[in-house]
Amino acid sequence: MEIYLGLGTDFSDDKLRFTAQIGADGVNGAPLPTAADDGFYAAQGMKDLRARVESFGLKMYSIRLVPWSWTYKWMLGLPGRDEQIENYMKTIRNMGEAGIPILTYNMHTMRFYRTSSDAPARGGSRATAFKFDVVKDYKPMTEESSRVDISLIPEQLRGPVSDEQLWSNLEYFLKAVVPVAEESGVRLALHPDDPPIPQIGQVCRIMRSPEAYRRLIEIDDSDANGIHFCQGCFTEMGVDLEKEISYFGSRNKIVAVDFRNVIGHVNDFREAWPDEGQADMAATAKAYRDVGFNGPFCPDHIIHMDGDTDWGHRYWAYAVGHMRGLEAGLRLVK
């Protein structure tokens, strides 16, 4: 089991050293853009980032989510999308040149994550949570209520966004970038919408079900067109996890895994400690093993413990230890 931690934009000495010390194999994240990054990540910056990560004995597994301002036009089909797609292809080529093999992206046209960051969890710990009732009247296409810089979108272009608009935009994007990813040796990994609900306000969220991912891989069967299998999101969907792992894993479509757990259902759930949530983590670990998946696993989404740092050093140590324990147990199970 190759385990990696998400560092966001902060590839500090502390985080890299800690990641190596607790027994993780590598990291992912998206560095803050520099002057050399004009709508895309420049090649030298990617090479320097990989070299820095490797100097701590770690692997640089992936870039996870380039800045929203680099993607919103192609996601929403706005004027200027072709320029953004050209820049996205530059990032892919530069990643290939730097030897960074995975690019995780999403279709969060209006990014929305959780309604609470302080839900009660085991032993007085605190977790993020989502309740649809809190956002049922949310209007994401207004500057006041958006989590993104909605001022970037011309006012006359703000409005309802349908499923088919988003599917059309995604297909347009993939037809351009998948061949470049193939040539560059980079695998694209599409993360589910989280939460995977049909829409917030009048903005749809298409990556919300296994059926959506079946449609995705029908657009282009290339190995470069894959899935970031967020186990928490698929648990929120209420699906048979082992069945979906087998289906997509047997087709070599799982590129990376977020190995996390939740309690509840898609309209009302919270993050859970990996051993207390609804998913049987041992059974899913075995399912990945049995289908031959050999990509990276990320524990993802901290539970806030007393005395921990904002980043979650204590929690990550626990989560990686839990995963290493499952890995050791799998060696005893055929």
Give the start-to-end residue ranges of the domains of the chain.
Answer: 2-326
Distance CA 50, CA 5 (A): 15
pLDDT tens series, the chain, 334 aa = 999 999 999 999 999 999 999 999 999 999 999 999 999 999 999 999 999 999 999 999 999 999 999 999 999 999 999 999 999 999 999 999 999 999 999 998 877 779 999 999 999 999 999 999 988 887 777 766 666 677 777 776 777 889 999 999 999 999 999 999 999 999 999 999 999 999 988 889 999 999 999 999 999 999 999 999 999 999 999 999 999 999 999 999 999 999 999 999 999 999 999 999 999 999 999 999 999 999 999 999 999 999 999 999 999 999 999 999 999 999 988 7
Q: Encode burial over 10-46: b for 16+ CB neighbours within 10 A, e otherwise.
A: ebeeebbebbbebebbbbbbbbebeeebebbbbbebb
pTM exceeds cut of 0.85: yes
The topology under which CATH files domain 2-326 is TIM Barrel (3.20.20)
